[in-house]
Amino acid sequence: MCYVLNIANEFDCGHLVVFTRERIDCNSTTCALSASHQLGCRDCSSTCRQSLIQEQTWTSGRLCRPCESCLSK
Protein backbone atom coordinates (compact mmCIF):
# COMPACT_ATOMS: atom_id res chain seq x y z
CA MET A 1 0.00 0.00 0.00
CA CYS A 2 1.06 3.62 -0.40
CA TYR A 3 3.23 5.17 2.31
CA VAL A 4 5.45 8.12 3.16
CA LEU A 5 9.21 7.56 3.04
CA ASN A 6 11.33 9.80 5.27
CA ILE A 7 14.96 10.11 4.21
CA ALA A 8 17.23 11.13 7.08
CA ASN A 9 20.80 11.61 8.18
CA GLU A 10 22.01 10.03 11.41
CA PHE A 11 24.38 12.07 13.54
CA ASP A 12 27.00 11.04 16.11
CA CYS A 13 24.67 12.26 18.87
CA GLY A 14 22.21 9.54 17.82
CA HIS A 15 19.56 11.86 16.39
CA LEU A 16 17.96 11.26 13.02
CA VAL A 17 17.18 14.40 11.05
CA VAL A 18 14.75 14.01 8.16
CA PHE A 19 15.74 16.09 5.14
CA THR A 20 13.12 14.92 2.66
CA ARG A 21 9.77 13.15 2.62
CA GLU A 22 8.35 11.31 -0.38
CA ARG A 23 4.99 9.68 -0.97
CA ILE A 24 5.58 6.20 -2.40
CA ASP A 25 2.88 4.87 -4.72
CA CYS A 26 2.13 1.16 -4.31
CA ASN A 27 0.73 0.95 -7.86
CA SER A 28 -2.16 -1.17 -6.63
CA THR A 29 -5.55 -1.03 -8.32
CA THR A 30 -7.15 -1.70 -4.91
CA CYS A 31 -5.57 1.29 -3.18
CA ALA A 32 -7.68 4.44 -3.42
CA LEU A 33 -4.55 6.60 -2.96
CA SER A 34 -2.60 5.03 -5.82
CA ALA A 35 -2.32 6.48 -9.31
CA SER A 36 -3.18 2.93 -10.48
CA HIS A 37 -6.56 2.93 -8.71
CA GLN A 38 -9.33 2.40 -11.22
CA LEU A 39 -11.68 5.30 -11.88
CA GLY A 40 -15.31 4.47 -11.23
CA CYS A 41 -14.45 1.71 -8.76
CA ARG A 42 -17.61 0.14 -7.36
CA ASP A 43 -17.98 0.19 -3.59
CA CYS A 44 -14.50 1.65 -3.19
CA SER A 45 -14.83 2.38 0.52
CA SER A 46 -15.26 -1.31 1.35
CA THR A 47 -13.07 -2.94 -1.33
CA CYS A 48 -10.08 -0.59 -1.53
CA ARG A 49 -7.56 0.63 1.01
CA GLN A 50 -8.34 4.23 2.00
CA SER A 51 -5.26 5.29 3.98
CA LEU A 52 -1.48 5.25 3.96
CA ILE A 53 0.35 2.52 5.84
CA GLN A 54 2.90 3.43 8.53
CA GLU A 55 5.65 5.84 7.51
CA GLN A 56 9.06 4.34 6.80
CA THR A 57 12.44 5.99 7.49
CA TRP A 58 15.56 5.35 5.45
CA THR A 59 18.92 6.55 6.76
CA SER A 60 21.03 7.85 3.90
CA GLY A 61 24.21 8.14 5.91
CA ARG A 62 25.91 8.88 9.21
CA LEU A 63 27.49 12.26 9.80
CA CYS A 64 30.48 12.35 12.14
CA ARG A 65 29.26 15.32 14.16
CA PRO A 66 26.37 16.25 16.43
CA CYS A 67 23.13 17.54 14.91
CA GLU A 68 22.33 21.28 14.86
CA SER A 69 20.02 20.91 17.87
CA CYS A 70 22.79 19.38 20.00
CA LEU A 71 25.37 21.91 18.75
CA SER A 72 23.19 24.81 19.88
CA LYS A 73 22.91 23.53 23.48
In the chain, domain spans: 3-71
pLDDT tens-digit series, residues 3-58: 999 999 999 999 999 999 999 999 999 999 999 998 888 899 999 999 999 999 99
Report yes or no on whether pTM surpasses 0.95: no
Burial class (CB in 10 A: 0-12, 13-18, 19+), 32: middle
Residue 17 Cα to chain centre, angstroms: 14
